[in-house]
Amino acid sequence: MGKKIIKKRVPVRERPVEERLKGFMEVPYGYNEDEAIAEAKRCLQCPKPTCIEGCPVNIDIPGFIKAIAERDFERAFYILKKDDPMPAATGRVCPQETQCEVKCVLGKVGDPINIGKLEAFVADWARKNNIKDKPEIHERPQKVAVIGSGPAGIACAVDLRKMGYQVTMFEALHKAGGVMQYGIPEFRLPRDIVDYELKYLEELGVEIKLNTFVGLHIPCEEVREKYDAMFIGTGAGAPRFLGIPGEELKGVYSANEFLIRVNLMKSYLFPEYDTPIKVGKHVAVIGAGNVAMDATRSARRLGAKVTIIYRRTKKESPARIEELHHALEEGVEFMELVNPVRILEKLNQVRGIELIRMRLGEPDSSGRPRPIPIEGSNFVLEDIDMVIEALGTRPNRMFLDRAPFIARDKWGIIQVDEHMRTNQPDIFAGGDAVSGGATVIRALGEGRIAARSIHEYLTKK
């Protein structure tokens, strides 16, 4: 007791806005050793740490922070890795402000500990110093197929392989990583981090089969026959559209298309890379979640003026605070309480968007106030030449159509119990395929739970 409380966080140095907008470099520079230690020393080391409860995978947060404070970064790394297979990614993309940090006792009197940045610091330090878990693997003969190479699949594959199972990971695209490859831009998650994790997977002996869409290129039944168990981490990669008039026009994109072009195909480097991207002078991004922020900030970096169109207010935005903050810093206009009615055209090209004003009503099933249209309040936002719809995604129906024996709800979300077991004894699932769209950390956690359940299933079998 008697520890002096330091209310203010050690500030995070960030790339200046003008420099950010010139490319896709990561925005925060990250803590250096001294900054990390200073921030770690603020931690009160609560005897009953509430931050751990806030973490979906229950990382020993005070434990790794204590190790940082003692300058034992290697110990900090192994504490993190015990529960989180990819701390370099989660440190950057987790919504800490609604998970661990919101529970931090320091938050009541000042800034909560910057757990995310400390996590990223430790993981980056380990990567730079080539510190990694090199488990001794006792081989087992059973084979497990992991469908999808995103966070859920990676977490599941790593654990299963460490237990000695023969793991093959199937990826539909030409690059592994799932949403970390096609969805999240490099200024939030540099690709050397993703590549490093994938390399680690291969070093462990996980076989990665790219360009293989299970269900389309290989029947699900065939995979089921060849493998003793199957994990489905196919994500929620299918876009949603508003279904309003004008979506057929030139200049209308799903956020998925825009981000796949930019991230997976590196179209921001066209013509060095062959896939082009055309960005309007004034882009309207519909939605205010993380994907909307990613699209917004990518469009800014490609030189467009951007207006976010959101039917609620900033306060209800489901985006990470840091993303919203960075987007606003980068000069984005945010229109609150408006909803698109139709997209207007001129010569088959987007020219504007008709909006209706909204007001907030009683909370809906999401717990946020329900937006209600105000009759007769329609108006036109002129001079918009590109519309990006970031309305959330849903599981890819092509996989589900070809695996009819797996129980799912009417939206195509795979039904699992708390052990990530589906209705089929040999099939397990996790990540966005079972949540419809959540977080990287939740997917990692579910992949790990599934690995334990698969182990249990295979040892009993």
Binding residues for another protein, rule: CB under 8 A, are 172-174, 182, 210-211, 213, 216-217, 237-239, 241, 243, 247-251, 253-254, 256-257, 260-261, 264-266, 270-276, 278, 348, 396-398
Mutual angle of helices 33-41 and 115-128, in 10-degree steps: 140
Taking the complex as a whole, the smallest distance from the CB of residue 250 to another protein amounts, in Å, to 5
Contact, 323 vs 347, CB < 8 A?
Answer: no
Q: Given the complex with another protein, which of 168 and 396 has the nearer CB atom?
A: 396
**Any idea what the Cα angle at residue 295 is, between residues 292 and 301, rounded to 5°?**
140
Specify whether the CB–CB gap between 293 and 299 falls below 8 A.
Answer: no
Least distance (Å) between residue 218 CB and another protein: 8
Token duo for residue 390: 């970031």
CB closer to another protein, 114 vs 254: 254
Tell me the DSSP string of 145-187. EEE--SHHHHHHHHHHHHTT-EEEEE-SSSSS-THHHHTS-TT
CB of 307 to another protein, least distance (A): 21
| Closer CB to another protein, 50 or 212, in the complex | 212
Nearer to another protein, 95 or 239 (CB): 239
Q: Closer to another protein at the Cβ: 317 or 435?
A: 435
Minimum Å gap between C-beta 420 and another protein is 24
Q: Is the CB of residue 407 less than 8 Å from the CB of residue 425? A: no
For the bound state, the minimum distance from the C-beta of residue 331 to another protein, rounded and expressed in Å, comes to 26
* C-beta closer to another protein: residue 13 or 174: 174
User: Cβ distance 330 to 20 under 8 Å?
Assistant: yes
**Minimum separation from the CB atom of position 380 to another protein (A):** 21
Q: Which two tokens stand for residue 168?
A: 């093959």
Q: Let me know the angle formed at the C-alpha of 41 by 37 and 46, rounded to the nearest 5 degrees.
A: 140
Which CB sits closer to another protein, 82 or 402? 402
Taking the mean position of all CA atoms in its chain, how far away is CA 389? 18
CB closer to another protein out of 36 and 249: 249
| Closest distance of CB 443 from another protein, Å | 17
What distance in Å separates the CA atoms of residue 329 and residue 317, rounded to the nearest whole number?
16
CA 461 to CA 456: how far, in whole Å?
9
Q: Give the separation between CA 298 and CA 257, rounded to whole angstroms.
A: 12
Minimal distance in Å, beta carbon 273 to another protein?
5
* CB 245, min distance to another protein, A: 11
Q: Closer to another protein at the Cβ: 276 or 331?
A: 276
Tokens of 277: 């991207």
CB of 203 to another protein, least distance (A): 18
DSSP 285-347: EE--SHHHHHHHHHHHHTT-EEEEE-SS-GGG--S-HHHHHHHHHTT-EEE-SEEEEEEEEET
* Cα Rg of the chain, angstroms: 23
Nearest residue (CB) to another protein, 242 versus 338? 242
Q: Least distance (Å) from another protein to the CB of residue 372?
A: 27
- Plot region of 81 (φ>0 → left; ψ -120 to 50 → alpha; else → beta): alpha
Dihedral (Cα; 273, 233, 407, 392), 10-degree rounding = -50
Q: For another protein, which is the closer residue by CB, 261 or 421?
A: 261
